[in-house]
A and B are shown apart, each in its own frame.
Chain A
Amino acid sequence: MEYTIEPKSKFSLGIDELIQYRELFYFFTWRDIKVKYKQAALGILWAILQPLAMVIIFTLIFSKALKVETGEVPYPIYALSGLIIWNIFSAGLTSSANSMVNNANIIKKIYFPRLVIPISSILSVMIDFSITLVFYIGMLIYYQDVVIFSNLIWCLPLSILLMLITTFGLGTFVASLNVKYRDFQYLLPFFIQFMMFLNPILYNSNAIENPLIRTIMKYNPIANAINLNRAVFIHSPVDFQGLIVSFFIGIGILMLGIYTFRKTEDYFADIA
């Protein structure tokens, strides 16, 4: 085995190295999950309790108090179908964006492909997601009158995929900026909050009349992932034009994120 260490000249994804270090994904993800639920009596049950509590709160406020219109679909399952996908974005972005800073002590002391860290942080979010998913499927069965189960088979995976691409792209982008400018750490919660209100998570996108916001909603990947996930409900057609455009936007964000990350990762240890 012979290799050289020299200043990096050309861009590469470093896939072969990621494969070589594949076990690290497992260990980092496993550590994140373990640490997250250590000393919590209810443990990983929180992955169900959190969205359940959210659904109850939102149902009380938006459905009972504000009378938000969701057609024939009962509000609790409507909200959960949005929240479960939204959670990939909000939890995934938060944890991946802060992952490099949180693991700075490791980065400064040992080498491994740096992409392992944000990828693992999103993987651990996906473990939580899969637990929530069980709860979600249970709810779908409970409300089966409004659900078209044949749509679930393709809508849910595609919706997850679109959300993952977008989240991972944005996450790696912010993670690499965050190493240099910690300001992003403080900006991020506002951005996520803003996105939560801007996207049809708790309401129906048809309720929006402003043409500018309608256009944003038509093409942005978050709104499209959520709407795609809701295509399991009756009378919820998929906007394929918007969906395809948003997939391209998502892939664009992914490429930007990985490119920025790979370009700057060599110096993380110097400035972290």
Chain B
Amino acid sequence: MKPILEVHNLSKEFLIGANNEPYLALRDILANPFKLLNQPKKEVFKALDNVSFDVMPGESIGIIGRNGAGKSTLLKILSKITPPTSGKIICRGRIAALLEVGTGFHPELTGRENIYMNGSILGMRKWEIDKHFDEIVNFSGVEKFLDTPLKRYSSGMQLRLAFAVAAHLEPEILIIDEVLAVGDAEFQKKCLGKMDEVTKSGRTVLFVSHDLGAVQNLCSKSILFEKGKVKVYDKTDIIISNYNSSINFQTFNNGIININRGLLKRITLTSKNKLVNYIEVGEPFKFEIYLNIEEFRFIDPVIGIVLKDMAGSNIIGINNKHYDSRVLECKSKNSEAIFSITFNTFNLVEGSYMLDVYIGDNFQDIESHKDCLVLQINDSTKSKFNLKPNPTYNKIFYSDISFKNI
């Protein structure tokens, strides 16, 4: 089978001069007549630098990377909005790009008129819009306002209508840029559900997002961009851990992480009475949190941690108020106070997890340390399961589940 999308050595350059304008303006010459003789050297900025990759039909590919990594430029080239400087793309299917929802919406037109306008700009034929019209209206939930001008819609209603039109596009390749960042939670869920449906229906989807959780849910494979280049192209799980490691999360070194920020000095990890860098699935372990006592003046300290998966979804959030009736005390030893958090049974599956640490008193958080370390859980014994639990469906496991014939 041939790839539906082949990207070969794609580059896009922009000239960036001192004034950042791609043209010579008379007002600048008047302001500084010597500039003509003495033009600042134009610098070439490579938004995309020799990018190559293939996408097979039916794959859904996540595109992640930091701001300015070239994601949006790639999408603009794929959607033919701007041409590449060099290289080429071979497409074997119709592309529809959603770089924005509601392109071409006009406030003076009614909802009905905007559905037709927007649909046709997105590349739908009139009969296609006619065919899907009722579905679009149902999906958007604005039936009552269909003949009201768009300017009287709430922004949420406009967005729902816009996404509803876009969701009914039927191209072979669908390109989506961060459109899910808006809308209320219920509608976001609906959108994700619809996108999931699209990916499962065998269409090819390219999805750019900063929401790693959404990428993980929708895309089996991902491309990580860095400074206009493809850094890694692999399974999404691998990409996400790669992306996170590129943001320099700290990991345990000889069982210790030095933080030295605010009150938090360092954290150690102990398992089976030894300092360790990672823990085994199901083994008890202990964090020791070292605080700087001289700055610690709370009578009633509250220490809390939140464990998250690498896509940023919370898994466990605990503090001593919730889990332990005893009140902690600040005992100073060499101007350090040490608190320990012991997990006797721990049911997280193999993988990497991020940890937030919160330090506070009875009333409020004094300090919060977000994403201050990465905890690695390994499964080297493999004794607990017949088969490894599928990480897509399992974040935690229960060891006492049994299946029986009745």
Contact = CB atoms under 8 A, between A and B. Distances in A.
A2 interface: yes
A31 B99 contact: no
Contacts of A262: none
B79 interface: yes
Interface stretch (B121-129, B285-293, B316-324, B382-390): B121-129
Interface residues of A, number: 32
Contacts of B78: 5
Given A27-B117, A38-B108, A269-B76, A110 B122 contact: yes
B120 A23 contact: yes
A146 B90 CA distance: 64
Contact of A110 (B25, B86, B93, B99): B99
Contacts of B79: 110-111
B80 interface: yes
Contacts of A181: 23, 25
B97 A110 contact: yes
B33 interface: no
Given A2-B90, A111-B97, A267 B82 contact: yes
Contacts of B100: 109
A31 B117 contact: yes
A112 B123 contact: yes
B108 A35 contact: yes
B81 A109 contact: yes
B329 to A, nearest CB: 60
Contacts of A109: 81, 99-100, 103
B85 A7 contact: yes
A109 B77 CA distance: 11
B183 interface: no
B304 interface: no
A24 B84 CA distance: 25
Interface in A1-43: 1-8, 23-24, 27, 31, 34-35, 38-39
Interface string A68-112: 000000000000000000000000000000000000011111111
5 smallest beta-carbon distances between A and B, as pairs: A6-B88, A111-B80, A5-B89, A38-B108, A27-B120
Interface of A: 1-8, 23-24, 27, 31, 34-35, 38-39, 105-112, 180-181, 183, 266-267, 269-271
16 contacts: A1-B92, A4-B88, A4-B89, A4-B90, A7-B83, A31-B106, A31-B109, A34-B113, A107-B81, A111-B80, A266-B83, A267-B83, A269-B81, A269-B82, A271-B22, A271-B23
Interface of B: 14, 22-23, 25-26, 76-94, 97, 99-100, 103-104, 106, 108-109, 113, 116-117, 120-123, 125-126, 149
